[in-house]
Structure 1
Amino acid sequence: MRDKPTVAIVDDDDSVLDTTKDLLDSAGLSAATFHSAESFLQSEGICAIQCLIADMRMPGMTGLELHGRLAAASTPIPTVLITAYPDERERARALEAGVICFLAKPFNAEELLACIETALRGRDPA
């Protein structure tokens, strides 16, 4: 039997981290939380992360910059970006960069879970 997929949540807002982690736990996923892109990059076990949920706007590195950094380092992780400031140009740029989904806060739980399912399906060997 396979282990539960691990999803990383990177957001500088504690309430978003807590509620998103609770949602993922209730959906049978394992969640790891980080307050910044930098703390995520410095963590052990990045290779075990199967999906990344990152805030678009955070102090320091943005979620899109984090996605780009991982891809440039040949350690791409399917990414869902979330933002409190939805902007169509940023959305288009993110999707062009290979982000799986771009969701506005507050996001719908079913929509987020569908994005994660798409990301995890993409990680499974064909």
Structure 2
Amino acid sequence: MITASVSLARWRISRVQKAPVISIVDDDESVRDAIRSLLRALGYVVDTFASAEDYLQSPHLSDTSCLITDIQMPGMNGFELQRRLVSKGLQMPVIFMTAFPEEAVSRLARDAGAVSLLSKPFDEQALISCLDRALTERGGGITEGSAG
């Protein structure tokens, strides 16, 4: 099933003149690397950042087609990152990730306008589905995903 989804995602990207830029913000290097590898295999352009502060210092903020960010990180958390982006006039679809999928976190993500909230660990298909939705619908109601 994942192979079919990967093929479909590649086909969709090949129809787009310029591949979407996906920015990943997570303090866990292994999470950044795994997501980067998957998304690059699907044909996306991927930028990774170890912190929200690093991402905000990037000269390519406006190039981001979708932001995938952890919620709980040292320093600035994912919700504050999104608020800062909005205050700069940058409103891209956001997929939040968390290892602590409590109802309060889900409510905060929903209130922040997140496309999705993924509970770590999650499978590739959950991420692909959320990303596809983020890029095609450019927002909408929150969906919650987890390992399948």
Q: TM-score range by the shorter chain?
A: over 0.9
Instruction: Choose from 35, 38, 49 the match for 1:23.
Output: 38
Distance, in Å, in 1 between the alignment partners of 2:56 and 2:104 is 26
1:71 and 2:86 aligned: yes
Distance, in Å, in 2 between the alignment partners of 1:108 and 1:71 is 29
Opposite residue 18 of structure 2, the aligned amino acid is D
Structure 2 residue runs without a partner (length 5+): 1-15, 139-148
SS of residue in 2 equivalent to 1:85: coil
Bigger mean CA offset, 50-59 vs 1-10: 1-10
What is the identity percentage for the equivalent residue pairs of Structure 1 and Structure 2? 41
TM-score w.r.t. the length of structure 2 is 0.79
Bigger mean CA offset, 11-20 vs 68-77: 68-77
- TM-superposition CA deviations, 1:21-75 (whole Å, max 9, x none): 0110111111100000000000011111000000010001111111111112211
After the TM superposition, which parts of structure 1 deviate over 3 Å for at least 4 consecutive aligned residues?
none
Distance, in Å, in 2 between the alignment partners of 1:61 and 1:67 is 10
CA RMSD of aligned residues (A): 1.1
Distance, in Å, in 1 between the alignment partners of 2:25 and 2:62 is 16
Aligned length: 123
Structure 1 residue runs without a partner (length 5+): none
TM-score w.r.t. the length of structure 1 is 0.93
- TM-superposition CA deviations, 1:61-92 (whole Å, max 9, x none): 11111111111221112100001111111111
Q: Which has the larger radius of gyration?
A: 2
| Paired position in structure 1 for 2:103 | 88
